Amino acid sequence: MPEARPPLPPFTEETARQKVRAAEDAWNTRDPDRVVLAYSEDTRWRNRAEFPVGREEVRRFLQRKWARELDYRLIKELWTFGGARIAVRFAYEWHDDSAQWFRSYGNENWEFDANGLMVRRYASINDLPIAPADRKYHWPLGRRPDDHPGLSELGL
């Protein structure tokens, strides 16, 4: 029997916001083994020019991502929802191995199965080089503190 990942569709505004925050929290762990548990075994992604299919390809994708995107910190915000679908916008900050900082902006469209596992994730992302002084995310690595501003409050 497939595992369940509440909240389950159909989503209300409250449960969609809970799902978005749970995804943000998981991604901020930068732990591919934990993150992939939110996706179905046969999940299908589009992330920039990569198209991983299934948890194992997603796991390898995330391992490469976080080996390259250092000191990664992410904020997601609910854009809209309906039925088993959620759309989010996000921005994350990271630096490469030469200490160049970036803010990556994007949108994601998600679709979930009846057990609350994500079966489709379509992401569009753009990277903006930023100076260290322009960083807005300064919390310790891991979960964004509840009192830290979100994207709208930060003017992003």
Residue 23 has pLDDT above 70, yes or no: yes
Question: At 39, phi and psi to the nearest 5?
Answer: -110, 150
Question: At 9, phi and psi to the nearest 5?
Answer: -70, 160
- Is residue 110, in this structure, part of any structural domain at all? yes
**Is the link from the previous residue into 9 a cis peptide, with omega within 30 of 0?**
no
**67-123 pLDDT per residue, tens:** 999 999 999 999 999 999 999 999 999 999 999 999 999 999 999 999 999 999 999
Residue 1 has pLDDT above 70, yes or no: no
**Residue 112 to residue 118: CA distance in whole angstroms:** 4
The CATH number for 60's domain is 3.10.450.50
- Is residue 34, in this structure, part of any structural domain at all? yes
**54-64 pLDDT per residue, tens:** 999 999 999 99
- Is residue 116, in this structure, part of any structural domain at all? yes
Edge-to-edge order in the sheet of strand 70-82? 39-47, 118-130, 101-112, 85-95, 70-82
- Is residue 60, in this structure, part of any structural domain at all? yes
Q: How confident is the model at residue 3 (pLDDT cuts 50, 70, 90)?
A: confident
Domain extent for 48 = 13-134
Q: Residue 19 in 3-state DSSP?
A: helix
- Is residue 155, in this structure, part of any structural domain at all? no
Counts for the chain of helices (H) and strands (E), in that order? 3, 5
- Is residue 128, in this structure, part of any structural domain at all? yes
Domain count, the chain: 1
Per-residue tokens: 147: 């009192």
- Is residue 1, in this structure, part of any structural domain at all? no
Q: Which amino acid is at 63?
A: Q
**138-150 pLDDT per residue, tens:** 999 999 999 999 9
Q: How confident is the model at residue 5 (pLDDT cuts 50, 70, 90)?
A: very high
Whether 121 contacts 110, CB under 8 Å: yes
- Is residue 58, in this structure, part of any structural domain at all? yes
